[in-house]
């Protein structure tokens, strides 16, 4: 008791006043240095709090990755979005490991599964890409490899965080709440227009404005960085909301999930992302294949088919949103799709002649930044599959596809081992969303969006943990 009073006395009457005087001195001499110091101090306190309470850091990280692009535009400054996930993931992992060591728990108990092994094989392959003879330095390889390690560690953190069935249910609700808020802002952008300050930020970059303004309307992006990320997120979150509504839940919650899913799908249409429309179809078909014996699934499939027919053949021709949606299933009428196909055909000989690829970060803007003299520098891959085939070769593409196959096979196996309808719905829903993300990689970097990556890794953790947690609660 005496020691605690002594610590409190030192903190309240010595450390805090000294800290206040330091902040006042720095602000008086240089506003920028003072603000940087205060921001760093706040960040350090938050990181320490994340170590002490890893679950707090886990959910705070999702809030950050959902809204950080919006605040970057609002403040017109770089908030170092690449640094924050690394710091938070490290703090969360340290906190989890310390708790396991203190309580004498096995550290890698639940990480022992096929998904972990498959991902480690993939990490090993891209790690060996540092020796690719087609690159002259590891400058571009480093960010990709370190980023892959980071999201793998986040997957490990998610496995430890999801220590109960209730925790997984809370995470799914948390995901849908964040997605619903994002969808509402996207709808507000469409209905009321962009705020003046946000429209001004967009006009400052003519190239970005040209990409966002198509078919007579401005593609919306809500809190996210760009319309494709927004569209894919809304599509997958929307179908997840609809699928979970088929669970044996209360009527009130079923209505809430259905309404939330409707708003997400509506906001997705405002993004003007063609692949997002296809993602909905892929997700519904995959979910129906797993749960076709359920009457609710047949109702969902029939309703979706009717809505799709109405959207495609409704006699409305001057609406930019509808034009963009309909072009998804009419690629022969869309010039941009034809340009992508021409690019793919032109680059195919290079892919065939380089089994291990041209090296990581050699295509697109990354190639221009790190390897400007590389043959692939500046080439737009327009999809994760093509990017993987060019940078990691057809061997790397096969490895990536095998990882996806292992994940889907593992999830389907767990689905058929499920003993309750609720458990089957959760597995079918998560698997359908994961499958939709995979399909989105054909023409978009659908899984590469900043926030989708973390949702994806948490979804893998749910596949790993949910069945054993359901058994333990029976």
Token code pair at residue 126 = 């891209």
- Statement: residue 289 has pLDDT above 50: yes
CB contact at 8 A, 374 and 107: no
pLDDT single digits (tens) 240-270: 999 998 887 788 888 999 999 999 999 998 8
202 φ, ψ (degrees, to nearest 5): -70, -40
* Distance in angstroms (rounded) separating the CA atoms of residues 127 and 144: 10
Closest CA to 437 of 467, 458, 415, 413: 458
Q: Is 353 exposed, middle or buried (0-12, 13-18, 19+ CB in 10 A)?
A: exposed
Provide, rounded to the nearest whole percent, the portion of the chain with pLDDT above 70. Answer: 83
Q: What pLDDT is attached to residue 446? A: 44
**Rounded Cα distance, 69 and 166, in Å:** 31
Contact (CB, 8 A) for 96 and 108: no
Q: Which is higher by pLDDT, 336 or 188?
A: 188
- 344: its two tokens: 């793919």
Candidates 428, 462, 451, 409; CA nearest to 160 is 462
With a CB cutoff of 8 Å and minimum separation 6, the contacts of 417 are 467
Tell me the pLDDT band of 366, cut-offs 50, 70 and 90. Answer: confident
Quick one: pLDDT band at residue 65, thresholds 50, 70, 90?
confident
pLDDT computed for residue 9 by the predictor: 44
Question: What is the chain's mean pLDDT, rounded?
Answer: 82
Supply the pTM of this predicted model.
0.88
* Mean predicted confidence (pLDDT) in 309-326: 70
Q: Which are the contacts of 89, defined by CB distance < 8 A and separation ≥ 6?
A: 61, 150, 153, 154, 157
Is 397's pLDDT higher than 60?
Answer: yes
Place of tokens 């886990």: 58
Cβ pair 361, 379 in contact under 8 A: no
* Helix ranges restricted to H, 103-225: 114-128, 141-161, 165-192, 196-203, 206-212
* DSSP result, 272-328: T-HHHHHHHHHHHHHHHHHHTTSHHHHHHHHHHHHHHHHHHH-S--S-HHHHHHHGG
């Amino acid at each position: 008791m005496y020691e605690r009073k002594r610590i409190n006395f030192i903190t309240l009457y010595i450390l805090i006043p000294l800290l206040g005087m330091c902040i006042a001195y720095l602000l008086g001499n240089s506003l920028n240095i003072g603000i940087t110091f205060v921001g760093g101090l706040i960040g350090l306190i938050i990181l320490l709090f994340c170590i002490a309470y890893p679950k707090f850091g886990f959910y705070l990280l999702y809030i950050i990755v959902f809204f950080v692009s919006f605040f970057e535009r609002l403040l017109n400054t770089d908030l170092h979005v690449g640094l924050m996930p690394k710091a938070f993931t490290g703090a969360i992992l340290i906190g989890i490991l310390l708790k396991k060591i203190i309580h004498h728990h096995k550290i890698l108990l639940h990480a022992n599964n096929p998904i972990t092994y498959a991902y480690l094989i993939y990490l090993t392959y891209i790690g060996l890409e540092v020796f690719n003879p087609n690159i002259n330095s590891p400058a571009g390889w480093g960010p990709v490899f370190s980023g892959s390690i980071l999201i793998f560690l986040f997957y490990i953190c998610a496995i430890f965080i999801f220590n109960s069935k209730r925790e997984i249910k809370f995470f799914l609700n948390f995901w849908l709440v964040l997605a619903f808020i994002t969808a509402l802002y996207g709808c507000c952008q469409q209905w009321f227009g962009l705020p003046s300050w946000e429209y001004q930020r967009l006009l400052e970059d003519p190239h970005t404005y040209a990409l966002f303004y198509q078919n007579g309307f401005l593609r919306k992006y809500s809190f996210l960085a760009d319309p494709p990320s927004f569209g894919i997120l809304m599509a997958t979150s929307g179908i997840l909301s609809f699928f979970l509504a088929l669970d044996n839940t209360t009527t009130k919650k079923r209505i809430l999930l259905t309404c939330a899913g409707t708003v997400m799908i509506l906001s997705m249409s405002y993004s003007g992302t063609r692949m997002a429309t296809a993602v909905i179809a892929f997700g519904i078909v995959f979910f129906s294949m797993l749960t076709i014996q359920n009457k609710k699934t047949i109702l969902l499939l029939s309703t979706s088919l009717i809505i799709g027919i109405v959207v495609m053949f409704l006699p409305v021709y001057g609406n930019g949103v509808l034009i963009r949606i309909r072009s998804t299933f009419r690629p022969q009428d869309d010039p941009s799709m034809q340009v992508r196909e021409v690019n793919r055909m032109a680059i195919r000989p290079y892919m065939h002649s380089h089994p291990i690829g041209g090296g990581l970060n050699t295509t697109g803007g990354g190639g221009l930044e790190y390897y400007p003299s590389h043959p692939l520098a500046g080439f737009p891959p327009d999809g994760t599959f093509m990017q993987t085939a060019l940078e990691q070769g057809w061997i790397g593409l096969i490895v990536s596809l095998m990882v996806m196959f292992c994940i889907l096979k593992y999830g389907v196996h767990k689905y058929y081992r499920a003993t309750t309808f609720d458990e089957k719905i959760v597995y079918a829903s998560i698997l359908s969303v994961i499958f939709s993300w995979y399909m989105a990689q054909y023409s978009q970097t659908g899984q590469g969006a900043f926030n989708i990556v973390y949702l994806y890794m948490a979804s893998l953790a749910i596949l790993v943990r949910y069945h054993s947690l359901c058994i333990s609660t029976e």
